[in-house]
Amino acid sequence: MSSQINTLFSANGETAVKTSDRNDSDTDMEKDGIQYVSSTLESGHYPDITVKAGIPIKWTIHAEKSSINGCNYKILLPRR
């Protein structure tokens, strides 16, 4: 069984969420001024995503129940 976390936020500053080497399963597109990103959470690491600063993001995170543990059940997104 999968659970989803949807987050919509606007980045204030030069960098929104920036990491390296996007996973090929991640998809992104921009529509109506919103960036849409989809990624999969695995028990061993957080998903890497890259987004443009200053544009709101709708981030869908797919996670199998067995992948969620005490280390990754929260993702904190800093405001800049």
Specify the residue for token string 């957080």.
46
- CA atoms of 22 and 25, how far apart (whole Å): 8
Flag whether pLDDT at 77 surpasses 70.
yes
Would you state the pLDDT for residue 9? 40
- What are the beta bridge partners of residue 23? none
Predicted confidence at residue 37, as pLDDT, reads 92
pLDDT band at 1 (very low <50, low <70, confident <90, very high): very low
For every residue of 9-39, DSSP letters joined together read: E---SS-SSB-SS--TT-EEEEETTEEEEEE
To the question of pTM greater than 0.85 for the whole model, the response is: no
Instruction: Round the average pLDDT of the chain to a whole number and report it.
Output: 70
Q: Is 72 or 24 the better-scoring residue by pLDDT?
A: 72
Measured CA to CA, the distance from residue 42 to residue 61 in angstroms comes to 10
6 versus 49: the higher-pLDDT residue is 49
Q: What is the Cα–Cα distance from 16 to 53, expressed in whole angstroms? A: 5
Query: Quick one: average pLDDT of 17-34?
Result: 61
